Amino acid sequence: MKPLLEVKNVTVRFGGVLALDDVSLEVRPGEFLSMIGPNGAGKTTLMRVVTGTVKPVSARIRLDGRDITMLPTHQRARLGLALTHQIVRPFRSMTLLDNVTLAAGHHRIGRVIRALTAVDRSAEREQARKYLELVGIAEAAEKSVLGRPLGVVKRLEVARALALEPKVLLLDEPLAGLNTAEAARLADTVAEINRGGLTVVMIEHNLGEVLRVSRRLAVLDNGRKIADGDPGAVMRDPAVRAAYLGKEYQDAAA
Ligand SMILES: Nc1ncnc2c1ncn2[C@@H]1O[C@H](COP(=O)(O)OP(=O)(O)OP(=O)(O)O)[C@@H](O)[C@H]1O
Ligand SMILES: [Mg+2]
């Protein structure tokens, strides 16, 4: 099958740091790919090159056959890339519903000011409510983000990304900070969204959930991709065990 997202030869430098060293990754339609690797491996940076917020030394990015390498972030978003952030940043004084409606309006209209005036548009609100339902937080739709528990805010991030009607949903540590039960529930929600047909790329440190829900695993270490494939096979790979698990064990022992 032709790849939906093609990321080729990405190299990124931050001053003296080689954050990514010639990393390539292909994502096929309908896949659920998880990306793991130690802190600082370059996972977030790779996603930011894909969405266009980090400028690489070299890279070639194709979405659905179209070369998007030179396009600005908002055009990439409109063509179907949505990224949730490791540090969540919704509009805290707004309601959940307004947050998602704004995302839907922004996508359609392309200008934030016009999107804001469109907050009351009923079609967009209805869509927004549907996404809140999909991620399981519709009952809190009219509440402001302030004071919501992290589990709800994390789900809101996913709903806002869905409102962009992406071809590929990129999630950066959606489970971070959640307790075991919440993490499992949100992982289930993401898996359900994927089964509905949406292609998912998830960066995540929660290895238990990653192995439970994803169907392919890529491992970054120190700016390089060291493994990519069936999750079981990847976890048995000696290079992965040495680089990834080795560090985890060292951390645990420290
Ligand atoms: N804006 C930036 N300016 C300078 N250095 C950066 C910047 N963003 C990332 N880096 C560096 O690039 C490397 C890769 O960072 P990145 O955030 O992509 O790692 P990560 O795999 O997402 O890590 P984590 O699991 O901790 O989120 C690190 O050495 C980091 O310090
Ligand atoms: Mg990161």
Mean pLDDT score of the chain, rounded to an integer? 90
Task: State pLDDT tens for residues 85-108.
Answer: 766 677 888 999 999 988 887 655
Q: Whose CA is nearest to atom 17 of ligand 1?
A: 44
Do 203 and 172 meet the contact criterion of CB atoms below 8 Å apart? yes
Residue with the larger pLDDT of the pair 115 and 172: 172
130 C-alpha to center of ligand 1: Å?
34
For the chain, what percent of residues have pLDDT higher than 90?
Answer: 77
Tokens of 218: 């890529």
Neighbours of 179 (CB within 10 A): 11
Provide the CATH topology of domain 81-165: Rossmann fold (3.40.50)
Mutating to test ligand 1, I would choose from 10, 12, 44, 247 the residue with most ligand atoms within 8 A of its C-beta, which is 44
Q: Where in the chain is the domain with CATH 3.40.50.300?
A: 1-77+169-178+201-254, 81-165
**Confidence band of 254 (pLDDT split at 50, 70, 90):** very low
Residue with the larger pLDDT of the pair 151 and 82: 151
- Of the listed ligands, the closest to the CA of 48 is 1
Strand partners, 82: 169
88 C-alpha to center of ligand 1: Å?
17
Tokens of 17: 């740091």
| DSSP at 144 | B
Task: State pLDDT tens for residues 210-243.
Answer: 999 999 999 999 999 999 999 999 999 999 988 7
Mapping DSSP to helix (H, G, I), strand (E, B) and coil, where does residue 60 land?
Answer: strand
Do 64 and 4 meet the contact criterion of CB atoms below 8 Å apart? yes
Provide the CATH topology of domain 1-77+169-178+201-254: Rossmann fold (3.40.50)
Mutating to test ligand 1, I would choose from 10, 43, 50 the residue with most ligand atoms within 8 A of its C-beta, which is 43
The pTM of this model reads: 0.91
Range name among 1-10, 77-86, 123-132 with the lowest pLDDT average: 77-86
Range name among 71-75, 203-207, 249-253 with the lowest pLDDT average: 249-253
Ligand 1 pocket (Cβ < 6 Å) reads: 14, 17, 19, 37, 39-45, 86
pLDDT at 83: 84
